[in-house]
Amino acid sequence: MTIKSTFKKLFAVALLSGFSSFASTENTALAASLAPEASAPEIELSFWDMPPLKTGFIDAAPAVRNDAIPVGELGIDGGNKDMLVTLAKEIADGKLGNFDSLLIAQNGKLLFESYYLRGRINLPHPQASSTKAYTSMAIGRAIQLGYLSMADLDKPVISFLKELDPTKFVDGAENITLHKAMTMSSGLSISDDRMEKLQNNPAQLKGQGQVQAYLTNTTPINAAAQVFEYKGNDPQIVMQVLDAVVPVSAENFIKTELLDKMGITNYGWREDASGLPSASNGSRMTSRNMINWGKLAMNHGKWDGEQLINAEFLAKATGIIVQLGDDDIFFTAENVTSPSYGYYWWQADMKIGDKSYFTTSAQGGGGQYIILIDELDLIVVTTAHHREDNTMQVTADRILPAFTQ
């Protein structure tokens, strides 16, 4: 498998259309003012029309806000303040790429918060493929509430969708299970010409018609086809199953059973051609929202004492299911190795000296990351609009040492 260059292209396309560069900041101050906020008119702008910050904002003692995030002070409650402030100033000077935010939490407390370029504390940032991880969490919530079971992960997705006409399916359609779809290995393969025709006739893609169209127009589904391939429509099939099994719409379920419970009210989630939430890349979250998603995963699916996500499912989702090679994935580097994939969550080892730390992460094109290092109870969140995404390397080389040395 040689998909490293393909990954770079896919991640770039996911977010970087209309890319513009940024000149170095000047006079960056350490928490010299309140965190930058988007004005009401700016909130209505396209992400690409958001004016870049003239100076970076760096805060080693984040303020308490109404978002259920306890705060602490870098250097007092954990981490090396000098190392991380130096890193942040390099980011602000444009030396490490086009970061929009960097936030770090440890032991349940937000210790560091910074914004650059198009980052604003109150502005939901495009999440690109990190949306897949949120979709995975929604499935875990459905399992916790009994609308699905762990055994259902190995059942054909078509068994949950009652509005389909199986007489029109290609051979092997029943081989696509939730497990296969959530590991990006469904085997769906629709030619560009056929997909263009479907997109030009959007009525065919409404509701479960979307899955009908996919299973009618794909090549046959067999074992040879069902290998990991980071493209395609697998997440949207998973969203269709969620919508079919929960008592309300998938949109309402995600809102009431996840976002509302975590106190996430400032977000966006684009509608897919089917009319359901886009499962691949359609969400927007603030950086602090992303910290809360990380806390939920770090706490084994518990939130404020309530088990929101089935713990068995979450352990599987964030663990190693598909082992990949170091040369397969774009984010590997000298100190970032052994990449793998779970249920829309990535894994890798980060090395410092002779010690390796297992990481799991939600990743979105252009630099949207929620990186969890369980051994250190550490959460690293970034938003960005990179062409060359170096976030995992920066985390391994510059952030990890600040919490281990």
pLDDT for res 100 = 98
Using an 8 Å Cβ cutoff, are 302 and 361 in contact?
A: no
Bridging pattern class, strands 355-364 and 346-352: antiparallel
| C-beta atoms surrounding 168 within 10 Å | 12
> What's the alpha-carbon Rg for the chain, to the nearest Å?
21
Using an 8 Å Cβ cutoff, are 105 and 111 in contact?
A: yes
pLDDT for res 298 = 98
Which residues have CB under 8 Å from 133's CB, separation 6+?
293, 344, 345, 362, 363, 370
pLDDT for res 207 = 97
Token representation of residue 257: 């059973």
DSSP run (H or E) holding 373: strand 368-373
Strand partners of residue 303 = 306
Short-list 122, 4, 16, CA closest to 365: 16
CA distance to 185, 281, 325, per residue, from 131 (Å): 18, 5, 24
- Residue ranges, the chain, pLDDT below 70: 1-33
pLDDT for res 30 = 58
- What's the pTM value of the predicted model, to 2 decimals? 0.93
pLDDT for res 232 = 78
pLDDT for res 32 = 52
How far apart are the two ends of the chain, measured CA to CA in Å?
A: 37
| C-beta atoms surrounding 199 within 10 Å | 12
| Alpha-carbon gap, residue 92 to 95, rounded angstroms | 8
pLDDT for res 68 = 86
pLDDT for res 31 = 56
Using an 8 Å Cβ cutoff, are 353 and 396 in contact?
A: no
* Helix 192-199 with 209-217: angle, nearest 10 deg: 160
| Alpha-carbon gap, residue 281 to 135, rounded angstroms | 10
